Amino acid sequence: MSENMTLLRPRIRAGVRLNGADAGDAMFGEAILRTMARMDGGATLDDLAHAEPALPRQDLVSLVQSLDHAGLIDDDAAVQFYTGSEVILELEEIVEDHCKETIFRNPFWEACMAAQQPGELPEKLAIGMVIENWHFLFRESYFDAPVLSYVANTEVRLLLNQFFSEEYGHDEILMRALNYVGLSRDDMRDAIPLPGTMGLCNALAHWAHSEPLFFFATLGLLEGQTMKQDSFIDACERAGLPDGLVGPLKIHANINIGKAHGNLTRAIFKEIPVIESATVARLKRQARLFVELYDDFYTGVWRYYTSDQPILRRVSEL
């Protein structure tokens, strides 16, 4: 039994019968009897004390200790659990709420929404978004690889392997748009991603390694569950950006839509029958951080590509 008594939820492992209580101890004996009957693994020590105010706390503690020494109780609390589908709906709500305060107000997206006429979205900003997306997709194996061997659930593993096979090479689609604006494969291999882009890649790789359930939860937003990627394409078109740049983005977006990548997170969580409450709490804790990192990605794109800095940060110029 753990040291921290107040966290205990003692569960009695035997039947309870009170013998030999004389008249003077009868009330005290009955309080003990009732207390022992309440030790079903659901009530904490505080709950037990609260239910029996006449029983001094010290007596309650020594009762639990003596029962424990006699091997008559354990402290297995009934584990609370939820289905994967329940958990993902809750996580989506948290992510959606944080998005409203962050990503949906990000200057990058505000610029996209504001662009209604030709010329209203700076071409350099649009190209910058494609460059950083290319960096991200070029590194997709960093963060997908750890979950391709996910042994905990065969159905989930199959979904992820299918997903990766559909994703592989999407950087090449964006490369066509970059080629159109004069950036070659060699240029891109020479280019350094923005810190926000690399930060997002590294965080995803970390989660894929150490908290795969949370990594799965990020895929919906990244794959355009809220259709954000299309909002960028729509803005490019309203702003009259050339088809050589926008066309490949559309091809990529249509693959996501055709393969239902936006639904992947839900499809994965549907295959997970049980998640216990401690894990749910851990997943919720990461949700805000993920949205903030994603918001930083867009902020980074906005800051850098609306500045006078050169379009590429080159390794060869370091």
The residues that touch Fe ion, with contacts defined as CB under 5 A, are: 167, 170, 223, 256, 261
Q: Are 45 and 60 in contact (CB under 8 A)?
A: yes
- The one-letter amino acid code at 9 reads R
Write out the H or E segment, with its range, that includes residue 94.
helix 84-101
State in angstroms the smallest separation of the CB of 170 from Fe ion: 4
- The angle at the Cα of 205, spanning 106 to 260, to the nearest 5 degrees, equals 65
CB nearer Fe ion, residue 9 or residue 261: 261
CB nearer Fe ion, residue 165 or residue 210: 165
State in angstroms the smallest separation of the CB of 165 from Fe ion: 11
Whole-number Cα distances in Å, 172 to 108, 129, 155, 188, 297: 24, 15, 29, 11, 21
Q: Are 235 and 113 in contact (CB under 8 A)?
A: yes
State in angstroms the smallest separation of the CB of 228 from Fe ion: 13
State in angstroms the smallest separation of the CB of 232 from Fe ion: 14
CB nearer Fe ion, residue 174 or residue 241: 174
State in angstroms the smallest separation of the CB of 261 from Fe ion: 4
The residues facing 82 across adjacent strands are 275
Whole-number Cα distances in Å, 227 to 92, 101, 118: 14, 18, 22
CB nearer Fe ion, residue 245 or residue 275: 245
CB nearer Fe ion, residue 98 or residue 170: 170
